[in-house]
Amino acid sequence: MLKVRSSRPVLPGFRLSLGITLFWLSVIVLVPLSAVFAKSATGGWDGFVAAALSERALASYRLTFGAALLGAAINCVFGLIVAWVLVRYDFPGKRALGAAVDLPFALPTAVAGIALTTLYADTGLLGRPLAALGLPVAYQPAGVVLALTFIGLPFVVRTVEPVLAEVAHETEEAATTLGATRLQTMARVIFPTLLPALATGFALAFARGAGEYGSVIFIAGNMPFRSEIAPLLIVTQLEEYDFAGAASIAVVMLLVSVAMLLVLNMLQHWQRRKG
């Protein structure tokens, strides 16, 4: 009985599954994306430059990608600590804490945006003392970073966690018996193992943050040149029936995101080969 079963292929045929993959990716990803490129071309080269590379658009890219990078970087630091605590220690309430990490995944982003704005506005519970210290958060670029940090957290924690759980205690013990200090074990043994996962988490959090709209518009202030994110600029162009302009900005965002992910992948690849 067992033998018969194991001789049957577990997955359906390669050709069928590849066909499904290509069809599915086309319908869901490739065709819509090529439509964006086609639409951005309808305004001609001059139209594309005027819409996608205007001073205001450039300011919005700086904010969007800058805040996404900063948010992802913050998440790398604190996400790593959270993952570390969740994997390595046992304490009451650990499961609840683990579930809380996933909340930014599950929460509608608008809800997150409204909650953060309420808390961090200069009349809010956390915003008031911060504003008194001269650090206003809501309706400032800092608010954008805050929102993107919030939505990016689970990406880092959930990619680092399984890898961290895999790092065998024996490896650490071996390092210790070979005379490594605890800091050396951290820096030379554990951290290099985690680096690829951390880089993936960073890339995911960054990509998610760059495209985020729902939570940011509530807290950003949305002032052109200062606190206006690129996705909002796209929506604004759509409201003006400027479909080509909206697509042009979308194309720039897409290209920058793809370039960033490519660089990260190459870094990871290089890191693995070096290792």
Give the binding site for other proteins (CB under 8 A): 51, 55-56, 117-118, 121-124, 138-139, 217-218, 221-226, 228, 232, 235-236, 238-242, 245
In the complex, what is the shortest distance from the CB of residue 70 to other proteins, in angstroms, rounded to a whole number? Answer: 22
Q: How many CA atoms lie within 13 A of 102 on its CB side?
A: 8
For other proteins, the closer of residues 76 and 250 by Cβ is 250
In the complex, what is the shortest distance from the CB of residue 122 to other proteins, in angstroms, rounded to a whole number? Answer: 8
In the complex, what is the shortest distance from the CB of residue 104 to other proteins, in angstroms, rounded to a whole number? Answer: 22
Residue whose C-alpha is closest to residue 32's, from 267, 197, 254, 259:
254
208-211: long-range contacts, CB 8 A cutoff, minimum separation 24? 208/151, 208/152, 208/155, 209/67, 209/68, 209/71, 209/72, 209/148, 209/151, 209/152, 210/64, 210/65, 210/68, 210/253, 210/256, 210/257, 211/253, 211/257
Rounded to whole angstroms, how far apart are CA atoms 124 and 117?
A: 8
For other proteins, the closer of residues 139 and 202 by Cβ is 139
In the complex, what is the shortest distance from the CB of residue 148 to other proteins, in angstroms, rounded to a whole number? Answer: 19
264 CB burial (10 A radius; 0-12, 13-18, 19+):
middle
In the complex, what is the shortest distance from the CB of residue 68 to other proteins, in angstroms, rounded to a whole number? Answer: 21
**Residue 222: left (phi > 0), alpha (psi -120 to 50), or beta?**
left
Which residue is listed with tokens 């599954």? 17
For other proteins, the closer of residues 198 and 219 by Cβ is 219
For other proteins, the closer of residues 75 and 140 by Cβ is 140
For other proteins, the closer of residues 47 and 98 by Cβ is 47
